[in-house]
Amino acid sequence: MKYDITLALTNKEESYALNQVAAQANGAVWLKSGNTVILATVVVDETDFVDEDFLPLTVQYLEKSYAAGKFPGGFIKRETKPSDFEALTSRIVDRSLRPLFPKGFANPIQISILVLSSDNESDLQVLALNAASAALYVSDIDIFTSVSAVRIGKIDGEIIVNPTLSQLKQSTLDLYLAGSRDDMLMIEMQANGSDEVMILNMGGIEPFIDPVLTNQTLLKRQSNAMAEDELIEVLALAQAELKTANIAYESAFKPLAKFAFELKYVVSEIDAGMSDYVRSTHTDDLKRGIAAMAKTERSKALRTIRKTIMIEKPEWNEHELKKAIEQVKRSMVRAQILDEKVRADGRALTEVRPITIETNILPSAHASALFTRGQTQALVILTLGGAKDAQMYEGLTDSGTQNDAFMVHYNFPGFSVGEPSPIGAPRRRELGHGNLAKRALEGSTVRNGQTIRLVSEILESNGSSSMATVCGGYMALRAGDIEVCEPIAGVAMGMVQEGDRHAILSDIMGLEDHDGDLDFKVTGSKFGITAMQMDIKLGGIALDILREALYQAKEARAHIIDIMIDAEKSIELNEGTLPSTELFHIDPSFIGDIIGQAGKTIREIIEKFDVAIDIDKKKGSVKLTGKNRDGIKGARDHIEGIVSGIESTPKVEYKVGDVVNGKVKKIVDFGAFIELPGGIDGLMHISKISDERVERVSDVFKEGDELMVEIVEFKGNKIGLGRAK
């Protein structure tokens, strides 16, 4: 392959071959970086166009297993359904490139990104966007703005530009920034840090208190969040890096770009006469419609206005009238925010909608939380498991099978917005929102070897259901008695900007997202940010405005966290269903005694106390997982009794031949555990129950039966029993 362009960028090199493959596409580039090869193509339908006010752009990022010398996993040995990583990467590229297209671009366009060769160190998401942008730039489509991506990491306090995948695993920061030479267009961020901060404590009653309070005990702790000012500094560095890279891209690609052909633009012209009529005769009706809280209510109000005007003006085109009403509505919403500092629902710019929280409303679930903020409602359910319950997966750059022990699954059914749509497999948006909530909560959650699954069922949505998922997810974790380093909340921010005037909005609803200029989701604690996602509709945002938005979001999070902390006080655990986990260590030399001959001892412990046991033979760590805490405590006492060489509850001493009265405590396949006087348990093996063969212990005994038993043997600290003659 002959490479036309080779660019030396910070900590990496990219080589591009143009016009050598996929010649019938409108644009195609072959990108090589390290041993990674990506083919990106752009194809536009030049004859068809969509007569609607949206961009018909499709982005598909696809990984080929052969790229890493692997077979596809599963029974079918060919690539089928895209993985979550592929879907999320497609979404990232789409969100980054969509702002480039001019308003009215209506020809269906598809960008395909194929990973043909892969190494274990290349950042596929960064390369995917760079390849797609290059293919678009050199195509015969009239777009001559380069967009590229940069990833920033932080290792041992040092900022790393374009880290390798190995470095990224050690990083306390994962910041993905896409933009042009002048503008930031899309941000994805996760903080995995453990920077030491000072917090305040009130005797363990309220562990997370507003730092403005005084006369409290100062404690040091580890925070997962990144401070706002530090993030701004990193973003400034990343923006400078993007500017340098995009200047290099445009200089290199411009001489090789194809001659652009003329496309048809569908520009929606609004009838000025209709707009004036709507504004002069139906302003009050529009204000009432705008103030309607739910999307369905607002749509009904606007539809009523349209039908009324069509009676007044039957000669008008109803479709054109609908666009005029929408334009007037949008201008009224924005003017009210900028001029009066009041939002459509009457809130102040910084005001968060009313919040209610209920916990453990599902009695058979391990834990649950119903988080309601305004007309957005998320029911988040927690399920706990062991290591075997983790999600197995293998990415293209992974050396082997990986296990994901912290999962957040987000579901958005149509009824949440009053739409009669079928419930099916999760779409890219649902995967993206679940991934954002996962990044927000994962770093602050103390798992102790557990597998955690959070499922967010969106029951109602009017703005920022992903942030409701974060808040509900934190509450579900606490309702399941899971330790979290600090309370984590999320809030969606918006902005309206006209000329040099702007207004930043806290906790935006759907109307403000639709008619605003910024969709900015930020999660974190009172001390900083754990995850962030931003899409900019304006074409860019200044850092000083972004700083203002970050600090306004911090105030909103603090308000929400105070409500969440208060709700924690009323949590009642689902004791009957909530599994318990305990992790402790023993001398590894005793592992054999705990397992027993052919695993007999450990099976007896599992059956007797109804627990699962995971043992690390090298480290001597023992993890117990059970359905209740009594079983966990009993199993731990039993194991520690084996290690110490004495019985866990040695209240009475027995010798072989003693005959005592016992009570059947638990029936298992191989016998029955009998409680003896003094609280000591013995095992009557199925072969000792009767002189005749017994097929099932339950045919002879039931739990609670009393009978006379004889001590027939001792094995270590275990007592063997038989029927007294």
Q: Look at residue 419 in the predicted model and tell me its pLDDT.
A: 87
Lowest mean pLDDT among 125-139, 295-309, 413-427: 295-309
194: DSSP letter: -
Q: Look at residue 627 in the predicted model and tell me its pLDDT.
A: 76
- Check whether 356 has a pLDDT greater than 80: yes
Query: What residues make up the domain containing 461?
Result: 355-568
Whether 458 and 544 map to the same domain: the answer is yes
- 680 falls in which pLDDT band (50, 70, 90)? confident
At 125-145, the pLDDT tens digits run 999 999 999 999 999 998 889
C-alpha span between 369 and 378 (Å, rounded): 8
Q: Look at residue 525 in the predicted model and tell me its pLDDT.
A: 95
* pTM (2 d.p.): 0.81
CB-count exposure of residue 130 (10 Å: 0-12, 13-18, 19+): buried
Domain stops at, among 534, 568, 602 = 568
CATH at 677: 2.40.50.140
Whether 152 and 174 map to the same domain: the answer is yes
Q: Look at residue 159 in the predicted model and tell me its pLDDT.
A: 96
Q: Which of 285-289, 367-371, 628-632, 649-653 has the highest mean pLDDT?
A: 367-371
Whether 618 and 705 map to the same domain: the answer is no
589: DSSP letter: G
Residue for token pair 């001792």: 714
C-alpha span between 471 and 490 (Å, rounded): 6
- Check whether 63 has a pLDDT greater than 70: yes
Strand order in the sheet with 184-191: 158-161, 148-155, 173-179, 184-191, 529-536, 518-524, 489-498, 501-506
Domain count, the chain: 5
Coil, strand or helix: which one is 327?
helix
Partnered with residue 662 across adjacent β-strands are 707
Average pLDDT, the chain: 87
Whether 31 and 160 map to the same domain: the answer is yes
- 358 falls in which pLDDT band (50, 70, 90)? very high
Q: How many CA atoms lie within 13 A of 279 on its CB side?
A: 14
> Does 319 map to a domain?
yes
At 159-214, the pLDDT tens digits run 999 999 999 999 999 999 999 998 899 999 999 864 444 333 333 333 333 343 33
> Does 261 map to a domain?
no
C-alpha span between 176 and 186 (Å, rounded): 8
Average pLDDT of 532-556?
87
- 293 falls in which pLDDT band (50, 70, 90)? low
**629: phi then psi, degrees, rounded to nearest 5:** -75, -30
> Does 114 map to a domain?
yes
Whether 48 and 89 map to the same domain: the answer is yes
Domain stops at, among 282, 311, 340 = 340
Lowest mean pLDDT among 209-213, 471-475, 496-500: 209-213
Residue in 292, 346, 293, 298 with CA at minimum distance from that of residue 326: 298
Whether 330 and 365 map to the same domain: the answer is no
- Check whether 609 has a pLDDT greater than 70: yes
- 294 falls in which pLDDT band (50, 70, 90)? low
> Does 147 map to a domain?
yes
Whether 329 and 359 map to the same domain: the answer is no
> Does 575 map to a domain?
no
How many angstroms separate the Cα of 10 from the Cα of each of 170, 185, 186, 188, 613? 19, 20, 20, 20, 48
Cβ pair 475, 564 in contact under 8 A: yes
Planar angle of CA 159, 160, 164, nearest 5 degrees: 150
CATH at 594: 3.30.1370.10
Lowest mean pLDDT among 167-181, 468-482, 588-602, 657-671: 588-602
Average pLDDT of 2-8?
91
Cβ pair 639, 586 in contact under 8 A: yes
Question: Which phi-psi region, left, alpha or beta, contains residue 704 (left: φ > 0; alpha: ψ -120 to 50)?
Answer: left
C-alpha span between 600 and 440 (Å, rounded): 44
- Copy the structure tokens of residue 344: 């459509």
- Check whether 471 has a pLDDT greater than 90: yes
Length of the chain: 725
Lowest mean pLDDT among 25-39, 419-433, 554-568: 419-433
> Does 718 map to a domain?
yes
Whether 521 and 415 map to the same domain: the answer is yes
C-alpha span between 155 and 158 (Å, rounded): 5
Average pLDDT of 9-14?
94
Q: Look at residue 645 in the predicted model and tell me its pLDDT.
A: 63
Domain stops at, among 205, 226, 256 = 256
- Check whether 326 has a pLDDT greater than 80: yes
Lowest mean pLDDT among 89-98, 308-317, 554-563, 630-639: 630-639
Whether 229 and 300 map to the same domain: the answer is no
Whether 59 and 141 map to the same domain: the answer is yes
Lowest mean pLDDT among 4-18, 156-170, 172-186, 586-600: 586-600
Whether 195 and 335 map to the same domain: the answer is no
Q: Look at residue 216 in the predicted model and tell me its pLDDT.
A: 34
Q: Look at residue 650 in the predicted model and tell me its pLDDT.
A: 46
> Does 266 map to a domain?
no
- Check whether 717 has a pLDDT greater than 80: no
Q: Look at residue 301 in the predicted model and tell me its pLDDT.
A: 83
Strand order in the sheet with 57-63: 5-9, 12-18, 27-33, 36-44, 109-117, 57-63
- Check whether 646 has a pLDDT greater than 70: no
- 219 falls in which pLDDT band (50, 70, 90)? very low
- 106 falls in which pLDDT band (50, 70, 90)? confident
CATH at 488: 3.30.230.70
- Check whether 221 has a pLDDT greater than 60: no
Percent residues over pLDDT 70 in the chain: 93
Lowest mean pLDDT among 194-198, 282-286, 337-341, 654-658: 194-198
> Does 665 map to a domain?
yes
- Check whether 475 has a pLDDT greater than 60: yes
Average pLDDT of 531-545?
82
- List of E strands, 594-715: 611-616, 621-626, 659-668, 671-676, 680-685, 706-715
Whether 279 and 326 map to the same domain: the answer is yes
CATH at 309: 1.10.10
